[in-house]
Amino acid sequence: MNMPADAQPVAQFGETPFTRKKQRSEKIARAIFAVMVACIVIPLIVIIGYLVKEGYSLISWKFLTTNPTHGMREGGIWSALLGTFWLVGVSLCISAPIGVLAAVYLNEYAKDNWFTRVVNLAVVNLAGVPSIVHALFGLGAFVLFAHMGRSILAASLTLAIMTMPVIIASTKEALAAVPRQFREACWNVGATKWQTIWRIVLPNSISGILTGVILQVSRTAGETAPIMFTGAVFYRRIEEGNLFAYNITDQCMALSTHLFAVKTQVTNAPEALSFAIALVLLGLVVFVNLTAILIRSWLRGRKKW
Amino acid sequence: MVKPKVQVENLRLSYGPREVIHGISFDIEPNEILGIIGPAQSGKTSLLRCINRTIEFTVGAKPSGTIRVDGEDISEMRNVYELRRRVGMVAPLPVGLPLSIYDNVAFAPRAAGMKKKGELDTLVEKCLTQSALWDEVKDRLDSLGTKLSGGQQQRLTIARALSHSPEILCLDEFSIAIDPVTTMRIEDVLKVLKKEVTIILVTNLVQQARRLAARTMFLWNGEIIELGPTEQLFGDKPKDKRTYDYVNGIFG
Amino acid sequence: MTGSRSTLSIYGEKAIELLIRLCGVSAIIFVFAIFFFVFREGAPILASKDFSLGKFLTSTEWYPTSMSNVRFGTLALLAGTLSVTGVAMLIAVPFGLGAAIFVSEFCTGKVREILKIVIELLAAIPSIVWGFIGLTVMNPIIQNLFHVPVGLNVLNAAILLALMSIPVMVSIGEDALKAVPDSYREGALALGATRWQIIWRVLLPAAKNGLLAAVLLGVGRAVGETMAVLMATGHAVQIPHSIFDSCRTLTATIAAELGETREHSPHYQVLFLIGILLFTITFIVNLIADFVVKGVRKK
């Protein structure tokens, strides 16, 4: 689409002072912008490298699968890790169906009028509401008003509402990529709107939808503020090795709040412990994101039309 | 006199403030091929989309007037999907759905609730044979419909339109994207199909209407200039001079 | 086959459509619900005689737990939010837009793909990890580099926020630049313009609304950020006078103090009121960004 970056003037016209000046300006521009990008990328690499160096020594299978001990100064992170999985899983079960259907509404059913604009605006604003305000909302609506108490359910609902706009936006984009002529062909043979969506539109946009859902997972896993007051607990011991050690009405630990607690509230915790927790959280998020990127590029290669 | 299959009375259609069909009326008899000719933008496609009510999917389109199929006003039909099943539609550009060839043809029957494998198999074979595609694809019914050539995809589209056993088949410039040989094959198919269904053939090739249609309608700027036996329109003395000009390529 | 579609399946279709419409409008419901429930918890304080809305907005004295004289002035917190956001934007805007220009105009093929993935990963780093980095990595660096006693200050938080909002700016900014037709670039090249001239005189003016929207969304993200600023600002309630002063933001205050308040106490209610204030600020920023983007599309 864009001009090739290394477009050279054609040599046969010969070099003039003017073309030389142009080449120089081209090189300078390129260098300056490259330095700017480097200023963003290099700190990132250095920081991640530092986290790995400081935290790597503690990480082992045992670290992941045992509960914290000695006032969270020793032991593993099992209860926090499992808590994060639970929060992500439950919130996904809520936000994915609602988010996908909301996107279906916006892309397939909504007419181009003021009401649709208001809905779109609401989605944009929902995405922009600060996470701490979501926390207040979760506390006011789910924990207190709906009497769920501080629980995985209340925290997951809060997270679900918070991350839903991500799913809506990516699903909408995926649906819009399915050509309209496919829909018309279906309507012409007497398929209903939903049959068309279910049999043609959704199967052909599943890769984009999946990518959005996975990105939602990564965002949910890292959130801290929304769960601090709605379901996360400072310390909790659970049965090791049992994936169903939590109940949906329980409070749970989570990696993000655990990191916050170890770093700011536990005195005399070893430095390496907090680095290791940060590293696990970061690794989890990066892993999930890379999965999404891989799925996207894999499915892009096998498009059906 | 036989009862008309389709009756159009004073049909008007506007997109927003712009009216594109200005109150036209005509009848279509059962088992005839009605040719509709006319330059681009004269409302041919819009007319077809009014008949199967897919016009409702277009934002801002407002049809008025009455269309009757077998004497029944289509705007009062509660089950619009039933109507669309009775009216088959083939679009100008071939659309293979991103499904296997088999599923392409079985799509409509399945949507209508047919589930038995045996029935579906028979139907798929029948439709593909009718559309002169069976011999070419019978060994690879599992491959993607979108990967067929243009001409094959158009015949697949026709097979799909036949799969719900329509009583009326609307073809909208079906030959626009395919080669002459395939066009002739499909025309032969239509001549056979005429025995079972009523065909509305919108075409940009005037000679195609001459080859196939018993009666032809010349539509121009949303009005019927002339409707009569094909030979009359293509003869030396059509009722309207504009018809003569258009058919003989003088039209500007 | 005719008639095989029973009335039941038509009702099924209607039911599904209803469900989809319901999900579609859920976003509106959620936005209103957020406002309603946060306001519901915070509103009672407005009626209390010890509380004045004027003081709430204009006083710098934040002593929510004082036994003798409770004071709820959020001006210092607001100043903290604004100064951190402001400094963050001073860093993020040139780098974010510069990176957007680099990715969109100077990169092709593999390099571009890789850069986009890196920026996507940058966006994925959780804010708690950023806060942790601020506390453990940036703190000593700032102390040593600038010879200041405390490294947890406006600058520290601003650098983190800048790194957090750059990915948003890059991706939206790149979209805006992509939307500039290639014919503009080719036209300028044909006239003998240098790459600088093309960027300054052609691309930036043509994409300015999209770039502005990118900046605004970055601002929105920075204002609402909680955990990173909670850990990196130093947590001192004061109006910062230099970038090396510690401060505290609106978001951090809620996060830090909500856990220690009794439900429905005045302090608790004031924290919800701060939530409403934040909600309003980000709502307005997002609204403006949206209108700016719509302006682009109309062209």
For the beta carbon of residue B183, count every other beta carbon within 10 angstroms: 17
Give which of B71, B73, B31, B32 is closest to B50, Cα–Cα.
B73
**Is residue C202 over pLDDT 60?**
yes
Min Cα separation C213/chain B (Å): 30
Output the domain CATH number for residue B199: 3.40.50.300
**Mean pLDDT, residues A130-143 taken together:** 93
Give residue C179's pLDDT: 85
Give residue A202's pLDDT: 92
**Is residue C297 over pLDDT 80?**
no
Average pLDDT in chain A:
86
CB-based contacts of B19-22 (< 8 A; 24+ apart in sequence): B19/B222, B20/B46, B20/B222, B21/B46, B21/B47, B21/B50, B21/B222, B22/B221, B22/B222, B22/B223
> Where does the pLDDT of residue C109 fall: very low under 50, low under 70, confident under 90, or very high at 90 and above?
confident
Class of the CATH-defined domain A61-300: mainly alpha
Min Cα separation C4/chain B (Å): 6
To the nearest whole percent, how much of chain B has pLDDT over 70? 99
* A180 and chain B in contact, CB less than 8 A: no
Q: Please state the pTM of the whole predicted model.
A: 0.85
Contacts of B165 in chain C (CB under 8 A): 1
**Mean pLDDT, residues C174-198 taken together:** 84
Give residue B1's pLDDT: 59
Give residue A106's pLDDT: 93
Domains of chain C: 63-298 (1.10.3720.10)
Alpha-carbon B95 to chain mean position: 14
B7-to-A186, B3, B22, B163, B198 alpha-carbon distances in Å: 25, 10, 16, 24, 13
Give residue B251's pLDDT: 64
* C248 and chain A in contact, CB less than 8 A: no
Q: Is C108 exposed, middle or buried (0-12, 13-18, 19+ CB in 10 A)?
A: middle
Q: Contact A182/B97, CB-based, under 8 Å? A: yes
Beta carbons of C247 and C83 less than 8 angstroms apart: yes
Residue C226 to residue A132: CA distance in whole angstroms: 6
- Among A133, A175, A194, A275, most C C-beta atoms within 10 A, so best to mutate, is A133
For residue B111, being part of any structural domain is answered with: no
**Is residue C3 over pLDDT 60?**
no
Contacts of A304 in chain B (CB under 8 A): 98, 144, 146
**Is residue A168 over pLDDT 70?**
yes
For residue B49, being part of any structural domain is answered with: yes
**Mean pLDDT, residues C189-213 taken together:** 84
Domain ranges of chain A: 22-58, 61-300
Q: Is C266 exposed, middle or buried (0-12, 13-18, 19+ CB in 10 A)?
A: middle
**Is residue B25 over pLDDT 70?**
yes
**Mean pLDDT, residues C138-162 taken together:** 90
**Mean pLDDT, residues C32-50 taken together:** 89
| Interface residues of chain B, partner chain C, Cβ below 8 Å | 79, 81-82, 85-86, 109, 112-114, 164-165
Residue C243 to residue C166: CA distance in whole angstroms: 20
Min Cα separation A177/chain C (Å): 17
Beta carbons of B60 and B66 less than 8 angstroms apart: no
* C102 and chain A in contact, CB less than 8 A: yes
Give residue A269's pLDDT: 80
ipTM: 0.89
> Where does the pLDDT of residue A297 fall: very low under 50, low under 70, confident under 90, or very high at 90 and above?
confident
Alpha-carbon A11 to chain mean position: 49
**Mean pLDDT, residues C202-219 taken together:** 87
For residue B122, being part of any structural domain is answered with: no
* C15 and chain A in contact, CB less than 8 A: no
Q: Which helix or strand (DSSP H or E) is residue B34 part of?
A: strand B33-37
To the nearest whole percent, how much of chain C has pLDDT over 70? 96
> Where does the pLDDT of residue A239 fall: very low under 50, low under 70, confident under 90, or very high at 90 and above?
confident
Give which of A305, A95, A102, A103 is closest to A204, Cα–Cα.
A305
**Mean pLDDT, residues B209-217 taken together:** 88
Smallest Cβ distance to A190: which of B57, B91, B108?
B108
Beta carbons of A76 and A65 less than 8 angstroms apart: yes
Residue C229 to residue C251: CA distance in whole angstroms: 8
Q: Give the total number of structural domains in chain B.
A: 1
Average pLDDT in chain B:
86
In b/e form, how buried is each residue of C37-69, taking b as 16+ CB within 10 angstroms? bbbebbeebeeeeebeeeebeeeeebebeeeee
* A190 and chain B in contact, CB less than 8 A: yes
User: Angle at CA B175, nearest 5°, toward B172 and B177?
Assistant: 105
> Where does the pLDDT of residue C128 fall: very low under 50, low under 70, confident under 90, or very high at 90 and above?
very high
Residue partners of B52: CB distance under 8 A and separation at least 6: A188, B83, B84, B87, B89, B170
- Hey, CA dihedral for C142, C143, C148, C152, is it positive or negative? positive
Q: Contact C1/B112, CB-based, under 8 Å? A: yes
Contacts of C195 in chain A (CB under 8 A): 22, 25-26, 29-30
Q: Contact B79/C9, CB-based, under 8 Å? A: no
Give residue A95's pLDDT: 93
* C185 and chain A in contact, CB less than 8 A: yes
**A57-85 pLDDT per residue, tens:** 888 888 888 888 887 778 888 899 999 99
Q: Which amino acid is at B11?
A: L
**Is residue A278 over pLDDT 50?**
yes
B166-to-B5, B123, B134, B170, C233 alpha-carbon distances in Å: 12, 13, 20, 10, 72
Contacts of C6 in chain B (CB under 8 A): 113
Radius of gyration of the CA atoms of chain C, in A: 24
Chains that touch C (3 or more CB pairs under 8 A): A, B
**Is residue A100 over pLDDT 90?**
yes
**A4-41 pLDDT per residue, tens:** 545 554 445 556 766 777 777 778 888 888 888 888 88
Q: If you count them, how many residues does chain C have?
A: 299
Beta carbons of B200 and B169 less than 8 angstroms apart: yes
For residue B173, being part of any structural domain is answered with: yes
Q: What is the DSSP code string of chain C? A: -TT-S-HHHHHHHHHHHHHHHHHHHHHHHHHHHHHHHHHHHHTHHHH-TT--HHHHHH---EETT-SS--EE--HHHHHHHHHHHHHHHHHHHHHHHHHHHIIIII--HHHHHHHHHHHHHHHHS-HHHHHHHIIIIIHHHHHHHHT-S---SHHHHHHHHHHHHHHHHHHHHHHHHHTS-HHHHHHHHHTT--HHHIIIIIIHHHTHHHHHHHHHHHHHHHHH--HHHHHHSB---S--SSTTS-B--HHHHHHHHGGGSPTTSHHHHHHHHHHHHHHHHHHHHHHHHHHHHHHHHH-
> Where does the pLDDT of residue C2 fall: very low under 50, low under 70, confident under 90, or very high at 90 and above?
very low
* A49 and chain C in contact, CB less than 8 A: no
**Mean pLDDT, residues C188-198 taken together:** 81
Q: Contact C106/A5, CB-based, under 8 Å? A: yes
**B30-83 pLDDT per residue, tens:** 888 999 988 888 888 889 889 888 888 887 888 888 998 888 888 888 788 888
**Mean pLDDT, residues C26-45 taken together:** 92
For residue B179, being part of any structural domain is answered with: yes
Q: Which helix or strand (DSSP H or E) is residue B12 part of?
A: strand B6-15
Q: Contact B164/A200, CB-based, under 8 Å? A: no
Smallest Cβ distance to B161: which of A189, A191, A304?
A189
Residue A102 to residue C20: CA distance in whole angstroms: 6
Domain extent, residue B87, equals 6-94+166-247
Q: In what order do the strands lie in the sheet with B87-90?
A: B87-90, B168-172, B198-202, B33-37, B215-220, B223-229
Give which of A94, A99, A91, A87 is closest to A166, Cα–Cα.
A99
Beta carbons of B148 and B137 less than 8 angstroms apart: yes
Beta carbons of A147 and A175 less than 8 angstroms apart: no
User: Angle at CA C74, nearest 5°, toward C71 and C77?
Assistant: 130
* C100 and chain A in contact, CB less than 8 A: no
For residue B1, being part of any structural domain is answered with: no
